[in-house]
Structure formats: C-alpha cells, structure tokens
Amino acid sequence: MSARLALPLLNGAEATFECTFGRGCDGKCCQNGRPGLYDDEQKRIKKHLKKILPMLRPAARKVIEEHGIITRRVREGLPLAPVIGGWCVFFNEGCVLHKLGAAEGDKYRYKPIQCSLFPLLPDDDGNWYVRQHGYKNEPWDLFCLAPSNSNVPAVESLQEEMALAASLSKPSRKPASRNGKHRG
C-alpha cells in the first residue's frame, strides 16, 4: 500500500480482517467480554443510563440497576464491566453502547476504548498490530482473527480503528498489552 497509514501496524502487510457481525457472527467478541472501563467512560455511561437501560437485555438491566456498571474484578488496573448469561452486560443483539452512539452520530461516544479499537492492540513496546491467529501468541480463536477467513487487508477494513488508535495522545489511554504492562 503506497499511502501513508494513519497508524503503522507491525503486521499490516499481511494481516486480514473483516467484521462479519450480523453476517454469520453473532458478536463473539462480546461473549464473556469484560472490557475495562476508565473513569471517564464510567462517568459517561452512568450519565446516560436512562437511555442505555431500556436497550439492555432484562437480566443485564437488573444487574446494572442492582450492582452498577462495573464489578470488583480488575484487570490491568481497570474495573471490569459485568458479564451476564455469558455476554457483556452491554450486549443485546450487538453492542448497545455502539448502537446508541451510532444513532447519535458517533459510534464511539459511549463504547469503551478497548472495544472500539478491536482487533488492534499495542505490544509491550507500544507498537500496534492486528490480532491474528498465530501472531504474537494470540490466545483468542475468533473466526474474524483467522487470516484464512478473509481476503480483506486489515489496513483497508480497519481505517477508523487505526485513526482512533493514532489519535490516542495520552499513553494512559492506550490499552495495555495482553501481559498487562502499560506503556509510558
């Protein structure tokens, strides 16, 4: 690709990715997904709960009403969103936070940054890459992370996510690599 990428990717030359949500995938990245929530993300979600709650599954709504939007579990210094019935509490035939933001003109408005960036991840040195089966010991076996399941170059399909990652100027807002080390 001759154009300068918004974000250099370690495996950008060979990575493929195509989100097939609604076209064979029912949102597997949200199954047992427990995104960590930064303080500002928690505040934004809490501020708009009146709009969010009616969109949730009944069991998820009950969990949030009784226990809030985070659990006592912490990963990489961030409290985690609850899981109910095997799915992220914000999942209801897709991400409720994504759907609400998109309806308001910004699909990232309410969505946690680590969900918004998927499948991009920085490594321990702060270099970004596309999560793929067989690359950097990727543990997740999602269909969309298998290079053989798509002919779409990730550098084409992930332009918005790459631009979002490139815009993260504060190192504290970059999600930690899978081994939990934050980059400075």
**pLDDT 10s digits, 82-96:** 999 999 999 999 999
**Which pLDDT value is given to residue 2?**
40
Percent of the chain predicted with pLDDT > 70: 89
Is pLDDT of 113 > 50?
A: yes
47-74 pLDDT, tens per residue?
Answer: 999 999 999 999 999 999 999 999 999 9
Residue 71: what pLDDT? 96
Q: Which residue has the tokens 């933001």?
A: 101
Distance CA 161, CA 69 (A): 25
Please tell me what DSSP assigns to residue 152: S
What pTM did the predictor assign?
0.84
Q: Which amino acid is at 147?
A: P
pLDDT confidence bin for 183, thresholds 50/70/90: very low
pLDDT at residue 180 is higher than 50: no
Lowest average pLDDT, out of 18-32, 117-131, 162-176, goes to 162-176
Q: How crowded is residue 176: how many other Cβ atoms within 10 Å of its Cβ? A: 18
Gyration radius of the chain over CA positions: 16
Q: Report the C-alpha gap between 165 and 161 in whole angstroms.
A: 6
> For residue 127, is pLDDT > 80?
yes
User: Per residue in 6-18, pLDDT tens?
Assistant: 789 999 999 999 9
